[in-house]
Structure 1
Amino acid sequence: MQLGETIYPMEEDFIMVHLQYSCSNCRSFMSSGKRWACHQCRSFYICDKCYSAEQELEERERHPSNSRETHELHPVDIVGVPEETKDGDGIIESKFFDTRHAFLSLCQENHYQFDTLRRAKHSSMMVLYRLHNPTVV
């Protein structure tokens, strides 16, 4: 959660995948209840709490506040978001991933390269194979 909050302002520099909708006002993730969507504005969603606060505002201060016309917000049920999000996979320990230098040595010794997409895919596959099969030469 802290990582997401840290890199959120830099989202234009990263490929970000939002697995849950976040409120456009308070930036909290919406995992249950309703989200309120504006069909005229691309990716504008607010939570129930912010919707209640929006309804208490004067007509000219409501969404969008920089326009003469107000947009209607429509409720959308939030479904399919699991309550439990813990990862069931165990932690795999490996000496090659303990330090940055150990990983660099592994890549240099095995000629793993990441300069093209094709090489990056192959190198990633081989690194994962090495992680899951540490005794294979």
Structure 2
Amino acid sequence: MKIEFKKIGFEPKKFQLSKNGIEFQGEFKKDKDGLVDILGNIKNELNVTCDRCSKEFMIKLDENIHLKASDGLYKGHLEEYDVLEFYDGMIDFDEILESEIASIKLDYHICNECEKIEDFEKEF
């Protein structure tokens, strides 16, 4: 789902999309600095890999996301937000969802079996 930056106003608009069963919904609006404020939530389940035993397992997702989007290069500095830069005059919500899923998958995950093992490092 793509939306043109120039069509985004100061009143919140809702969005909802799904990719591979993962639901992404929320709202977006232009803020006083000309950035687009995106407040959303990602829900469902995601297949991840255990960092200890390499088994795949499912985790439940219920992630709140608060991002800012810039039409082109962002020259400011916002420590409390990630600012995504888009260069074609469009915000791509599919790309945002894919990026968030990739980030979650890269996080450190431990399956239930490995969580039960005490002193894991001592076994090797």
- Larger of the two Rg values belongs to structure: 1
Return the structure number with greater strand share.
2
Return the structure number with greater helix share.
1
- Higher relative contact order (Cα pairs below 8 Å, separated by 6+ residues): 2
TM-score of the two chains, using structure 1 as the length reference = 0.19
TM-score of the two chains, using structure 2 as the length reference = 0.20
